[in-house]
Amino acid sequence: MTLDLGLLLVCILGVGFLAQWLAWRVKLPAILFLLLAGILMGPVIGVLAPDKLLGPLLFPIVSLAVSVILFEGSLTLRFSELPDIGRAVRGLVTYGAVIAVLMLAVAAHYFAGLSWEVALLFGALTCVTGPTVIAPMLRTVRPNARIANTLRWEGIVIDPLGALFAVLVYEAIVSRQQGHTLGIFLAVIASGVVIGLLAAWTLAFLLRRQLIPEYLQNYGALVTVLLAFSLSNAITHESGLLTVTVMGIALGNMRGVHIDDILDFKENLTTLLVSSLFILLAARLSWPLPDGMLWAGIAIFIVAQLIVRPVTATIASIGSTLNWRERALIAWVAPRGIVAAAVSALFALKLDALGMEGAKALVPLVFILIIGTVVLQSATARPLARWLKVAEPDPTGVLIYGADQAARVVARALADAGFQVIVADEHWDGIKHARMEGLPTFFGYPASAYAERHLDLTGIGRLLAMSTNRERNALACVYYRQEFGRGKVYRLSNDNGDATGSRLQMGGDLSAPALFGDGMTHERFLERLAEGWRIKSTRLTSTFDWPNFIEQYGSPTVLLFGVEEKGALRVSSAKRELEPRPGWTVIALVPPQSAS
């Protein structure tokens, strides 16, 4: 079966999108569906043959795509955050990672018959987890905050560090395979470091001096990355991957360089590249696998799951504050992700071209480990967390999008009532005031790709969209409706209530229940605060019920929230008018004359 080349390329993009969408719907890592789609289109159906499709362009395309993926991942490593990540995380990403590399290498050597060089490279590639596979799993498992933070930070930190380690191991193998001396290997390392630092400094200089207009900064950053990669390879063979990794780490840690937009662009581009790249790479697998390869991969997966991870997690957590139950879950959860799949495929292509024995086995073994860890851990981690009693109960925390005065006073009232609160906004001024008021914050748009990686939603189960931007409120509601459920997402109206405002109201799936009723708007809320209205929190009793509350504080009082006796939060909205009962704690906006 043959398809037109253009149609086939569009089909790859379309299938990649569907795989990403399906992963979003079922809250599983997208890499699982991308790999399965590639295997289905390639060796199973036979509609996609990447080597015939791209010919001599396959290797350069894979190389450039991997360089962008590594650069984007390394941008997220912040040295300033390393001292605060905790003893267990530091152990997992340092000596724990080294132990994992060695144990995985031993398993690959004895079960799959790989040479020690290729086995060590396999270990370096597969010791890496990563935020793209950890984040969806944490949302499903919902472990307690200490476990979630440990696993999340491990993924963020080990992603670039693991890639750097794998690149160094690969450089050593290539130098030895080509008969190079230690001096040439060191020259490769020096070239990658120097060119990477120089490229980072050059791009930072242009950005600081605003010599590149904003609309060209993303384009310029991409060109700089690809140019540094290609130039480094031209000057010193095979140093390009090290160059882009060093460049990303250096640029991400430079002061005074605004890279948020670049990071967002790279994340979006990486999603496109990963989606297409993994389908192509999986389609190159031969099926059925060579004799013994499938069973060797399964054996390595069992060793990795039942021996390597428990040993490294146990050793790394010695001296930490984690209890044995928390250590047990951490020892179970370690799904492999993007770096392992992408870089292993590139290295396999290069080593195979050099005639390295066992290079062709690298990709299927890595893919078996990825699929095995993602499937098994996604299916079992939540029940295990419940059995160990380290799973969070149904999330009761509140994510508030918006950080102006209206959002902050609501956040403070909820925090004072004992609820976990996160105030998120892309405007620094509001976030700055929220932090000064002691509120937990997230600087960024909560529905962005950056938030998907860095916004910790452990314990959070509702969204209150209270920003001044009507369109962004609507998009945030649509995004978090899938995360929290349709009944857990609300928005504070930004309309003025006149005819023009009615014409501008969001409809259909873009709408969410109006927070605090149809009569309350963002403007009206701010006006009442300016007039001296204040938020009151009072526990109702049989002798002082809701009618008594209204009688004391006045009929204009606006009921915002109700907290039931067992601690459940009820949100007042246009969809649900609350009827507070004795035993509830009511949180209401009351007029100024009765606020004292």
For 190-217, the pLDDT digits (tens) are 888 899 999 999 998 988 888 888 888 8
Whether the predicted pLDDT of 503 surpasses 60: no
Identify whether the C-beta of residue 385 lies closer than 8 Å to the C-beta of residue 142.
Answer: yes
**Mean pLDDT estimate for the chain:** 82
328-333: average pLDDT: 93
Give the chain's length.
596
Structural domains in the chain, sorted by start: 5-387 (1.20.1530.20), 397-594 (3.40.50.720)
158-180: average pLDDT: 73
Contacts of 527 (CB under 8 A, 6+ apart): none
d(CA 470, CA 277) in angstroms, rounded, equals: 37
563-573: average pLDDT: 85
**pLDDT at position 159:** 72
Q: Beta 558-563 vs 569-571: how paired, if at all?
A: antiparallel
Whether the predicted pLDDT of 317 surpasses 50: yes
539-566: average pLDDT: 86
Identify whether the C-beta of residue 517 lies closer than 8 Å to the C-beta of residue 574.
Answer: yes
Say what the alpha-carbon torsion angle 102, 107, 113, 118 is, to the nearest 10 degrees: -30
Q: What angle do CA 416, 422, 423 make, to 5 degrees?
A: 100
Whether the predicted pLDDT of 509 surpasses 50: no
Whether the predicted pLDDT of 1 surpasses 60: no
Point out the least confidently predicted range of 62-76, 99-113, 324-338: 62-76
Identify whether the C-beta of residue 333 lies closer than 8 Å to the C-beta of residue 148.
Answer: no
Is pTM beyond 0.85 here?
no
d(CA 91, CA 218) in angstroms, rounded, equals: 35
Best-predicted range by mean pLDDT (37-46, 160-169, 341-350, 489-498): 37-46
Tokens of 35: 């790999």
Strand order in the sheet with 569-571: 534-539, 585-590, 558-563, 569-571
CA distances from 286 to 42, 149, 190, 239 (A): 8, 39, 38, 30
* Residues facing 397 on adjacent strands: 460
**pLDDT at position 149:** 78
Point out the least confidently predicted range of 17-26, 430-439, 467-476: 17-26
pLDDT-derived band at 180 (thresholds 50, 70, 90) equals low
Point out the least confidently predicted range of 75-84, 252-261, 272-281, 432-441: 75-84
**pLDDT at position 330:** 92
543-546 long-range Cβ contacts below 8 angstroms, 24+ apart: 545/580, 545/581, 545/582, 546/579, 546/580, 546/581, 546/586
CA nearest neighbour of 365 among 310, 292, 312: 292
Whether the predicted pLDDT of 373 surpasses 70: yes
Task: Tell me which of 342 and 12 has the higher pLDDT.
Answer: 12
Cis peptide before 288 (omega within 30 of 0): yes
Whether the predicted pLDDT of 497 surpasses 70: no
**pLDDT at position 182:** 66
Residue with tokens 């990649």, as numbered in its chain: 16
Task: Tell me which of 326 and 450 has the higher pLDDT.
Answer: 326
d(CA 426, CA 260) in angstroms, rounded, equals: 11
Query: What DSSP string describes 553-585?
Result: H-TT-EEEEEE-TT--EEE-BSS------TT-E
Point out the least confidently predicted range of 68-82, 358-372, 526-540, 569-583: 68-82
